[in-house]
């Protein structure tokens, strides 16, 4: 086994370990939370603040899903670069930008939550 093959095998092992940990902890975290029924039959909120928060939750869920897929795609790019520095840099940038997008989405949710609580509930 050559030195390059050992590096690739090591990267793949780490990737599978990270994916396993992500799947294991995400399912165990979702098992802890309890599901509650929507506030109205059909799940349609009647007030504006609940509607805004409902829309924000949907958008945040979509952005989180896209960011997770981009992190995985960046990891695949990085692992399959096989010594090509341009592909490795592209993978690193993809992962970095996906994390930045995820952080911006979380901060925007927090800002919208504060605005809804302070302005619309008063």
Q: What is the 3-state secondary structure (H, E, C) of 28-89?
A: HHHHHCCCCCCCCCCCCCCCHHHHHHHHHHHHHHHHHHHHHHHHHHHHHHHHCCCCCHHHHH
Mean pLDDT of the chain: 77
47 φ, ψ (degrees, to nearest 5): -105, 160
Contact 77, 91 (CB under 8 A): yes
| pLDDT higher at 3 or 91 | 91
pLDDT band for 92, please (50, 70, 90 cuts): very high
């Amino acid at each position: 086994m050559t030195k390059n093959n050992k590096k690739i095998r090591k990267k793949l092992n780490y990737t599978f370990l990270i994916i396993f940990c992500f799947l294991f902890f995400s399912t165990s975290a979702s098992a802890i939370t309890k599901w509650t029924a929507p506030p109205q039959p059909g799940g349609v909120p009647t007030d504006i603040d609940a509607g805004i928060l409902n829309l924000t939750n949907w958008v945040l869920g979509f952005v989180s899903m896209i960011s997770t897929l981009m992190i995985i795609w960046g990891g695949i790019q990085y692992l399959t670069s096989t010594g090509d520095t341009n592909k490795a840099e592209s993978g690193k940038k993809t992962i970095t930008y996906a994390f930045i997008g995820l952080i911006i989405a979380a901060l925007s949710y927090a800002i919208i939550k504060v605005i809804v609580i302070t302005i619309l509930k008063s």
